[in-house]
């Protein structure tokens, strides 16, 4: 699977250009650009596009729009998550967070605008594709991953409750958008998305464990954000619960389960190798995945 | 035009119920309900539905979804607008604002969730209607009214700039969603939406002037929010610029222009009477509209 087929940078640029064109207020325009570029690993849109490619990708514009929308929504969640009232994080992706650079007001509006633009990106597919139901399915999968009752907003809101089930919290806050990525990729290609749910769920959980490990053993400069935040903020962390070796075993099992769950499809082998490659960076130095 | 045809309360309830069902975190669920009910005058969704009815309303589900989405987006903008980093308003619609009741974190998430749910509401029409292009047009009109470069987010972001053209600011922050309401109503009925732009624009401007007048002469209890905020926050206000009589003349002219702009259509007379009726509340006591 050629890497450029999984690359949504150009389409992300087009979407941000559309939101920031005249007469957009200058600071909002700068902050929108700043919040999205340069990106992180773009793991969610790559996963979405990889599943679409593996399942035939007969509506490539829809798959690309879903990937771009998912990444914009992810960026929006980071901007709002970093706000003083939440994590009060001053660093993100190796540079000052949006509110640290542009102030809290512009940070709130940057998140809001990214959410609106993400859905505009998806809606625009209606001008090109003939199958309105397919677009509706993809959009609904994306909304499910980010809103309430069980998307990112719900996950974040669990932080405000006096008690929370850790699995539910992570499933909403991290897992839901990975599930949206695999399912929307399959639905964009007209496939039954249900059977792609376990892959998204497993990678989402693995990603959370990898994040927990990085928070404990990571060097801030590599992560692009401060380490040791979970202990500081009293948040659940797999390394605190299982120890480092236990957390790495869990990560390994989740990835193996995810790979095993990939349904038979034309591009299965290529998709497996992509998931393997992407997950290399989930492990701290000195560790790697052991196949089941 | 029977008033119940312009009523979106039931559909708003269904949309909020969907977002707040199990396993939604309890406080987020309460805040979503609190932010939307009881509502204000629901002037934007009424306007959207009235235009759809006047132009034939041959896809009533799409018009209703647009109306519901527009009201949810309006409520989201109020919740974020009231945040401590913006207006720091503790009162809204005669009760404590969302952040005053539920805290700042839940207020940010309530706004975010309402935005996501609004677009889910629209996307779902794709399962019912055959014309994907019409849904795309309506959704794009709604996104234009709320995002950037010239929707509500852009309008709000102008408050963060060192200087701003007052007309541009009001057009984005207030006018854009009224334009979305009239244009989306027409587009939902398959009409050319361009000719409905002047009505939305005129009512949006009139609404802003009415808001300025209320801010100067209003009694807080009637408005449901504190008066005198514009002077306090140094924001432009038509009464400060033109005096009370001048502002009322401007309001009158805007409404007359808006009514004159309504294109010929089957339900024109009923729409005119609706706009007349809705605009009665734009005037302070002792004043009323004089027809051109």
Model confidence pLDDT, tens digit, residues B157-191:
999 999 888 889 999 999 999 999 999 999 999 99
pTM across the whole model: 0.96
CB–CB contact A160 B112 (8 Å) = no
Output DSSP code: residue B131: -
Place of tokens 């052991």: A290
Helix axes B26-36, B104-123, angle to 10 degrees: 70
Contact call for residues A189 and A58 (beta carbons, < 8 A): yes
Q: A87-103 burial, b if ≥16 CB within 10 A, otherwise e?
A: bebebbbeeebbbbbbe
H or E stretch at B178: helix B176-188
B126-158 pLDDT, tens digit each: 999 989 999 999 999 999 999 999 999 999 999
B96 SS3 class = strand
CB–CB contact A28 B115 (8 Å) = no
Closest-approach residue (CA) in chain B for A79:
B108
Domain B3-282 falls in which CATH fold?
A: Farnesyl Diphosphate Synthase (1.10.600)
User: How much is the pLDDT for A196?
Assistant: 98
CB–CB contact B153 A113 (8 Å) = yes
User: How much is the pLDDT for A223?
Assistant: 62
pLDDT in tens, chain A (292 residues): 567 888 999 999 999 999 999 999 999 999 999 999 999 999 999 999 999 999 999 999 999 999 999 999 999 999 999 999 999 999 999 999 999 999 999 999 999 999 999 999 999 999 999 899 999 999 999 999 999 999 999 999 999 999 888 889 999 999 999 999 999 999 999 999 999 999 999 999 999 999 999 989 875 556 677 778 888 877 778 899 899 999 999 999 999 999 999 999 998 998 999 899 888 889 988 888 888 7
Q: Is B149 left (phi over 0), alpha (psi -120 to 50) or beta?
A: alpha
Spatial CA neighbour of B118 closest among B30, B7, B32: B32
User: How much is the pLDDT for A38?
Assistant: 97
Residue A131 contacts B, CB cutoff 8 Å:
yes
Residue B80 contacts A, CB cutoff 8 Å:
yes
CA distance A177 to chain B (A): 13
Task: At A44, list the tokens.
Answer: 């969610």
CB–CB contact A20 B115 (8 Å) = no
CA distance B187 to chain A (A): 14
Residues 238-267 of A with CB under 8 A from B: none
Smallest Cβ–Cβ distance between A149 and the set B24, B104, B125 belongs to: B24
CA distance B17 to chain A (A): 10
Q: How far apart are CA A270 and CA A259, in angstroms?
A: 11
A-B interface: how many C-beta pairs under 8 angstroms? 213
Question: How many other CB atoms sit within 10 Å of the CB of residue A158?
Answer: 22
Residue A65 contacts B, CB cutoff 8 Å:
no
Q: How far apart are CA A46 and CA A44, in angstroms?
A: 5
Instruction: Sort out which chain B residues have CB atoms less than 8 A from A125's CB and list them.
Output: 136
Instruction: Sort out which chain A residues have CB atoms less than 8 A from B157's CB and list them.
Output: 24-25, 27-28, 105-106, 109
Residues in chain B: 292
Instruction: Sort out which chain A residues have CB atoms less than 8 A from B116's CB and list them.
Output: 115, 119, 143, 146-148, 151, 153
H or E stretch at A105: helix A104-123
User: How much is the pLDDT for B166?
Assistant: 86
């Amino acid at each position: 699977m050629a890497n450029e087929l999984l690359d949504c940078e150009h389409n992300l640029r087009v979407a941000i250009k559309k939101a920031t064109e005249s007469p957009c207020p200058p600071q909002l325009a700068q902050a929108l650009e700043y919040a999205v570029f340069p990106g992180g690993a773009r793991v969610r849109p790559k996963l979405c596009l990889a599943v679409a490619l593996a399942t035939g990708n007969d509506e490539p514009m829809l798959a690309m729009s879903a990937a771009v929308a998912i990444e914009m929504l992810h960026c929006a969640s980071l901007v709002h998550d970093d706000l003083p009232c939440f994590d009060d994080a001053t660093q993100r992706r190796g540079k000052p967070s949006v509110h640290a650079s542009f102030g809290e007001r512009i940070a709130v509006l940057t998140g809001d605008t990214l959410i609106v633009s993400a859905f505009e990106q998806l809606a625009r597919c209606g001008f090109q594709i003939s199958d309105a139901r397919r677009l509706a399915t993809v959009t609904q999968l994306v909304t499910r991953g980010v809103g309430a009752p069980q998307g990112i907003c719900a996950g974040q809101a669990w932080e405000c409750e006096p008690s929370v089930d850790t699995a539910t919290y992570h499933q909403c806050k991290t897992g839901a958008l990975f599930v949206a990525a695999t399912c929307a990729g399959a639905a964009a290609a007209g496939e039954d998305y249900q059977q792609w749910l376990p892959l998204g769920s497993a990678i989402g959980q693995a990603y959370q464990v990898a994040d927990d490990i990085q928070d404990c053993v990571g060097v801030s400069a590599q992560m692009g954000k401060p380490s040791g935040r979970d202990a500081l903020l009293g948040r659940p962390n797999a390394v605190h619960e299982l120890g480092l070796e236990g957390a790495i075993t869990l990560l390994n099992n989740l990835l193996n389960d995810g790979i095993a769950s990939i349904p038979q499809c034309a591009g299965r082998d290529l998709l497996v190798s992509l998931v393997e490659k992407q997950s290399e960076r989930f492990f701290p130095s000195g560790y790697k995945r052991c196949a089941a």
